[in-house]
Structure 1
Amino acid sequence: MTELKRDDEEGWKDDDFLAFVAPKASDDLSESEEDEEEEEVVPKVDPSQLPPWMDHSVDINQIHPLISLHNEIVDFVHLMEPMSEEIRQREKLIQEVKDVVQSLFGTSAEVQVFGSQATGLLLPTSDIDIVIITQTKAEPVEADEEHTWEQSVSTPLRIFADELQTTWIGRLSYLEAIENTRIPLVKFTDKKSNISVDVSFDQPSGPPAAVLMKTYLDAMPVLRPLTFVLKYFLAARALNEPYSGGVGSFMLQLLIVAFLQHRERLAFNYRKHTVYNLGLLLVEFFKFYGLDFNYFTTVISVRNDGFFFPKGERNEVFCDDGRTNLLALENPLDPSSDVGKPSFRFQMVQRAFALAYRTLMAHVTVPFEPTNSILGSILPVSDEMLSRKHIKKRDRPLSAKREGDPTARHTGGHSRGRDPVPRDFQSSNKKQYNGRSRSRDKRNHR
């Protein structure tokens, strides 16, 4: 990989085929200075101008932008995570599907939930992913005047779709049987709850993936909030569907896990200080996959605490003349397969990550670009957010579930000795708040 380097920066490289840039503390992040005694009038912002996850504006003269971004992410997750009534609706729908399946295929048929519904990493608009293990062999049915060619084969998928069309048609707003795909499935949407369901048959790979992701969630508390933000980030740009070349949930979660694993290796190898700040992690994620990672040569693996290796080591899996510059991501459940292969539009994803990185950096580094919401600069407001605003905000937690919880809101101080902002950022906080950014903020709010 070509090493990124500027005259005013020192480049360094790890053993995992990735080059990074370590900014000098004497550049944008200068040594701390004495606080200037100056009174500041905090401008009032109309709450209607704030995104739904924010209650009030934040003064960057009083709290570091990275802490503000961290808190916005915490509040965004609280706004978008499922409410108890939504959970009950989903569980009720899953049980009704089980009843239909057992009436058709007997009690030996297994109905297994996987994906975001099983891991809890679901947005309000997330589908329910279900796989039905029938152990049933297809029996041909001769075509006659009452049967079309498509109806001449009685597969479990066709039996299930026909049953829904007959008995559920009044309660569904959408129903489709998709058979000419890598994984055939039945898609339908419940009219009352507006919940969409994807049902596949005899595809055993989904549930083990959910079990694996739960293991990572237990080991990496920050995985959950980062997944929420990044899932919505991709969905808002129509880059979240693998069938259209985007990044699906499992693929995205593996990317986040690989990033966190890599970050832990760096912290260990270079004795770097561990920072529990979701804002910083989000910025670094966008830089890592938007600018730094070498997609031409490198494969990502999350096995054995994560590692990278050249595509040439496994040509038969990861080398494809038609997609040499695209993501190569090893399936941890089947190392002989490439999870990234369906994402033929990953270059668009990479560009979106790079733009998001530059956008966020404008708001978290000197001179701060004034904004009412840092997270709102990359996440558009949706109707779903607005509808949840009044229900969820009154129950928003104001403190950590436990002291030192990396997914709790920060007040700008320290928790059990853990710093919410990197020390190189901290070293120039006082100058940032009292110097150039302050006068600029005044001009923009007059």
Structure 2
Amino acid sequence: EPPPWMEMASQGSAFEDMHPMIQLHNEIVGFCNLMEPRPEELEKRQELVERFTKLVKKTFGDDADVEVFGSQVTGLCLPTSDIDIAIQIPSDETDGDNAAAADATDEDILKSMKAKESPLVRLGSVLQTEWKDELSYLEVIENTRVPLVKFIMASSNIPVDVCFNQDTGPSAAKLVKQYMEIMPPLRPLTFVLKYFLAARALNQPYSGGVGSFMLQMMILSFLQHREREAIHYRNPCQQNLGAMLIDFLVLYSTDFNYITTGFTVRFDGMYFPKGASDRKEFFWQESRAFSLAIENPLEPTADVGKPSFRMQTVQRAFEVAYKLLLHRMYEPKENSPSLLACLLPTTDEMVERRTMNNTNEAANVIVINY
């Protein structure tokens, strides 16, 4: 049976009459239109954010600031994507604490102890108490580069990741939105590759995978160099998403030298030697020479790829993917007319969305100049 996105990709044409690269392009467009969140899903997510904001204000005071970032802000979220939230808490005022301690009551001391408790632990305790019957999962992760509180709502199955006093996340979301306007293919390629990595459990930085921001930097760097090469050779840059997907997979599976090279998306994108005198301190990991070094455009001495210790597994997944795609494109079609299906496994959720998604199929069609 054809995968659920095929109906949205055919646009009334028979796939057997299409060039394989055009078919793959249309399948990517169909997949994006199928999987992008519907208005009612976005509304449900917004309601959860508003409820959570009230809980945070109640727990940490009205001065606590709740900021949503990541795919929820950029519009790149899949239906199963996390809601990323950063809570900014003002520094505690400690002047005069010692003077007041002698006159403090037991209740005052208890409040003071709670105030000095780790914000992560405190939030975890409040969630366990206040939302006990509404959560299917709750975890406080303290021993990571960015400590998190993770929870999942039982009724909606929406996962939420919460961090404290981190301002890079919201800034990164604004930056990605700016890049999406400059490089329209960034959006559909992110959709497909996010799902590709998630289907293989390679999408979480804390378990060594490739997170959303890192993936977006990889795609953006690829697009920058692709466009520059087209200008150099005076060859119009083909805006076929199928060709871009294959070229991306080839780059990061066989062509890119992970051991010697890193990249930045600043200055319209450029590569740099990881061992250079001004880079080695920040981007060379002797114990993990194969790591992908990516300069954070918001913090040039920070390596976005540093947490991703399973990069060799990701590289092999990309290699298998592009070989599968080429085989399906140029060998007789066997069980399915779909090309993209060899990379993206069909799920029950996709089938359900195909049934429910009977609105305008041409909405939000992305960069189609083939």
Query: 1:95 Cα deviation (Å)?
Result: 0.4
Residue 133 in structure 1 maps to residue 93 in structure 2: no
Q: Unpaired runs of 5+ in structure 1?
A: 1-48, 409-417, 421-446
Q: Report the counterpart of residue 361 of structure 1 in structure 2.
A: 326
SS of the residue 1:379 aligns to? coil
Provide TM-score, normalisation by structure 2.
Answer: 0.89
Q: Report the counterpart of residue 211 of structure 2 in structure 1.
A: 248
Alignment of 1:17-416 (within 5 A): 49-55=1-7, 59=14, 61-137=16-92, 154-313=117-276, 314-365=279-330, 369-370=333-334, 371-392=336-357, 394-398=358-362, 407-408=367-368
| 1:75-120 residue CA offsets vs partner (Å, 9 max, x unmatched) | 1001110011100000000001111111122222110011111111
Query: 1:153 Cα deviation (Å)?
Result: 5.2
Maintained 8 Å contact 1:277/1:406 = no
Maintained 8 Å contact 1:74/1:225 = yes
User: For residues 152 and 121 of structure 1, what CA distance do their matches in structure 2 show?
Assistant: 36
Query: 1:151 Cα deviation (Å)?
Result: 8.1
Q: Report the counterpart of residue 28 of structure 1 in structure 2.
A: none
Equivalent position amino acid for 1:80 in 2: M
Equivalent position amino acid for 2:135 in 1: L
Query: 1:138 Cα deviation (Å)?
Result: 9.5
| 1:382-416 residue CA offsets vs partner (Å, 9 max, x unmatched) | 12212211111x22524x86xxx7534xxxxxxxx
Provide TM-score, normalisation by structure 1.
Answer: 0.74
Following TM superposition, the consecutive aligned residue runs of length 4 or more in structure 1 with deviations greater than 4 angstroms are 56-61, 150-153, 367-371
User: For residues 345 and 25 of structure 2, what CA distance do their matches in structure 1 show?
Assistant: 17
Deviates more, 1:88-97 or 1:313-322: 313-322
Maintained 8 Å contact 2:188/2:366 = no
The total of aligned residue pairs comes to 350
Query: 1:223 Cα deviation (Å)?
Result: 0.7
Equivalent position amino acid for 1:77 in 2: C
Q: Report the counterpart of residue 100 of structure 2 in structure 1.
A: none
User: For residues 152 and 342 of structure 1, what CA distance do their matches in structure 2 show?
Assistant: 31
Percent sequence identity is 52
User: For residues 320 and 80 of structure 1, what CA distance do their matches in structure 2 show?
Assistant: 37
Q: CA RMSD in A?
A: 2.4
Query: 1:325 Cα deviation (Å)?
Result: 2.0
Deviates more, 1:57-66 or 1:170-179: 57-66
| 1:170-214 residue CA offsets vs partner (Å, 9 max, x unmatched) | 111112222222222211111111111111111111100001100
**CA distance 1:386–1:111, change in 2 (3 Å):** same
Query: 1:225 Cα deviation (Å)?
Result: 0.6
Structure number with higher helix proportion: 2
User: For residues 153 and 105 of structure 1, what CA distance do their matches in structure 2 show?
Assistant: 11
Equivalent position amino acid for 2:219 in 1: I
| 1:247-305 residue CA offsets vs partner (Å, 9 max, x unmatched) | 00000000000000010110011112221111111011101111111111111110010
User: For residues 224 and 299 of structure 2, what CA distance do their matches in structure 1 show?
Assistant: 19
Equivalent position amino acid for 1:266 in 2: E
SS of the residue 1:158 aligns to? helix
Query: 1:156 Cα deviation (Å)?
Result: 2.2
Query: 1:245 Cα deviation (Å)?
Result: 0.8
User: For residues 251 and 197 of structure 2, what CA distance do their matches in structure 1 show?
Assistant: 16
User: For residues 36 and 203 of structure 2, what CA distance do their matches in structure 1 show?
Assistant: 18
User: For residues 229 and 396 of structure 1, what CA distance do their matches in structure 2 show?
Assistant: 21
Query: 1:155 Cα deviation (Å)?
Result: 2.5
**CA distance 1:61–1:72, change in 2 (3 Å):** closer
Equivalent position amino acid for 2:367 in 1: T
Query: 1:363 Cα deviation (Å)?
Result: 2.9
| 1:333-358 residue CA offsets vs partner (Å, 9 max, x unmatched) | 11111111111110111111111111
User: For residues 151 and 359 of structure 1, what CA distance do their matches in structure 2 show?
Assistant: 55
SS of the residue 1:200 aligns to? strand
| 1:20-48 residue CA offsets vs partner (Å, 9 max, x unmatched) | xxxxxxxxxxxxxxxxxxxxxxxxxxxxx
Maintained 8 Å contact 1:276/1:406 = no
SS of the residue 1:111 aligns to? strand
Query: 1:157 Cα deviation (Å)?
Result: 2.1
Query: 1:152 Cα deviation (Å)?
Result: 10
Q: Unpaired runs of 5+ in structure 2?
A: 98-105
SS of the residue 1:194 aligns to? coil
Maintained 8 Å contact 1:295/1:325 = yes
